[in-house]
Structure 1
């Protein structure tokens, strides 16, 4: 049987048996989430030797959109197939990750994390949630810290001069669109900070390349599942934006976009210190806490960069507009507090 499927109708007891090794007595399929770049289906299972449910991720049905998303689909599938076994970040267990075809078809079957709860980007997180997420993040960065074999993978890359040139050509227009959309939702101070990033973002994107690792690229509350289990309090999902780069970009993005300024100011040094301790536990050497803190300050532009492009070029929703505005309001405050624009 071909385990690569295309629609919910293809999820049959026989197919589940092929994937999980046990044919269920019965199953029920329901959609989960909004499905903007694909579909996510919860498959509830009955029968001995099976989990209560699994999640099945499929690409969008629109062939044109699917073709444009091949790279993102391959990133997530390749993470589970090639990188996840080599790192220590807590993620859903992967039951199946097929090849991604040239026209963007794939099938991914993952552990269903219910009753864990997704973080809420608009509402923000708690310092305790951010601390747990930062410690989990060190499990992504630490085991492959500056690992030269990452540069040989091909499907995951580091920013280069060509990419920096492209960034220089599109970032200014993206800022214009972003501020047109979010202007009424943000302070004038935050908008001014966004404008000020245009002069430094290209050099910033290439800087500190001597320290690199696997960068999730969108490690924020909406992509984190929080559990009351103290042994595994958080798991990270959505691995479609992977790159190689300065690991602190993920850390700065997480902290700045999750917490309003007073909460962030009160806990960020402790969060960075806890993340750094976990890095050392995963074998990182030659990276003192002072350097980690400086990288964290420097990396703060990540939250603005990702939000500007996500808002300017992504599918618009009312929640999305408000979310990007809040993320940038929080991050812009961190950029000003930490003197990020003065760092090189």
Structure 2
């Protein structure tokens, strides 16, 4: 730990004398361990607590391959971003052979918390603060020339074709398992979606108005400040980050996770606030109508999300509710016509 803290630049003298476990909380695919550190001869501002994030063994060797992308996020991106968007990192590693990984992160327990206990959605002011934080994250990488060069990579034609083929296999098994619980109409939507995927991918292939997408941007992956007058929201859990269309994160957060009554009341205000924040942070040439177009397309594409979640053994309590919500949003926003 002493060597790790020195390499991270937060321990210039002294040494870590003791490491203790304050709490150990199992999550769906990871363990969140809060560590306490004591030092011999260290500066007063050396971190006294850290968050150690580890793999849950049950998910270590599934299709999820959890942890690999999150470690790469903190290695490749986090240090290049404006301060205050994500927790600071003090090191991490991914072991390809053993499927093990770890991250040491800034402990924000005393100042931040999740907005609500899952699955209860947050109140509108908290939801707005989370969406503004997402917009700041996207704005930081909006059409950055490093995307696909030194940061991340654009999916090749072969990779896209392989992903489509993989999805088709997952979908067939998913549909077979659900039987009459997946209606003929929804089956037809999936068939049309798979046929239309090459055309729908043109938005991504334009390589314009793209950014770093979180990939798992539900509201419980954001820490909101405990202080009522603070807007210091932090995003975490970046295992699904990629170069992508930013509105995909918004559709994931709103359309996939909200039922129609609440979505109808807050969807437009959240999209308005998101766009206003983008503009305030320097994004130009992307008007409000373009956001609406991207959001609607993203809702359509997220119809595939419950199938992917089923394939990586996410529990039915998650993917089944997501299936119902995304199809309700699909119908409300007239996404069917995008398949024509």
Common topology (TM > 0.5): yes
SS of 2:104's partner is strand
- 1:80-119 Cα offsets, whole Å, 9 max, x none, are 233224334622122x124545535554211223251265
1:342 equivalent to 2:337? Answer yes
How many equivalent residue pairs? 323
Question: Which residue of structure 1 lines up, in the alignment, with residue 132 of structure 2?
Answer: 135
Question: Which residue of structure 2 lines up, in the alignment, with residue 147 of structure 1?
Answer: 144
1:228 to 226, 239, 242: 226
Pair 1:111–1:201, CA change in 2 (3 A): same
Pair 1:176–1:105, CA change in 2 (3 A): closer
**Structure 2 stretches lacking a partner, 5+ long:** none
Matches within 5 A, 1:86-97: 86-88=80-82, 90-94=85-89, 96-97=90-91
Kept after mapping to 2: 8 A contact 1:122/1:322: no
TM-score (norm 1): 0.79
Pair 1:166–1:46, CA change in 2 (3 A): same
**Structure 1 Cα separation of the partners of residues 220 and 179 of structure 2:** 23
Q: CA deviation at 1:63?
A: 12
Pair 1:23–1:187, CA change in 2 (3 A): farther
Kept after mapping to 1: 8 A contact 2:4/2:91: no
1:281 equivalent to 2:280? Answer yes
Question: Which residue of structure 2 lines up, in the alignment, with residue 173 of structure 1?
Answer: 169
**Structure 2 Cα separation of the partners of residues 189 and 66 of structure 1:** 31
**Structure 1 stretches lacking a partner, 5+ long:** 4-13
SS of 1:207's partner is helix
Q: CA deviation at 1:131?
A: 1.9
RMSD between superposed Cα atoms in Å: 3.5
**Higher percent of residues as strand:** 2
**Structure 2 Cα separation of the partners of residues 64 and 293 of structure 1:** 37
Pair 1:227–1:194, CA change in 2 (3 A): farther
**Higher percent of residues as helix:** 1
Question: Which residue of structure 2 lines up, in the alignment, with residue 292 of structure 1?
Answer: 291
Q: CA deviation at 1:219?
A: 0.8
Question: Which residue of structure 1 lines up, in the alignment, with residue 105 of structure 2?
Answer: 110
Kept after mapping to 2: 8 A contact 1:90/1:136: yes
**Structure 2 Cα separation of the partners of residues 182 and 122 of structure 1:** 24
TM-score (norm 2): 0.79
Pair 1:26–1:121, CA change in 2 (3 A): same
**Structure 1 Cα separation of the partners of residues 120 and 296 of structure 2:** 24
SS of 1:150's partner is coil
**Structure 1 Cα separation of the partners of residues 77 and 259 of structure 2:** 33
**Structure 2 Cα separation of the partners of residues 192 and 67 of structure 1:** 26
Question: Which residue of structure 2 lines up, in the alignment, with residue 8 of structure 1?
Answer: none
Q: CA deviation at 1:340?
A: 2.3
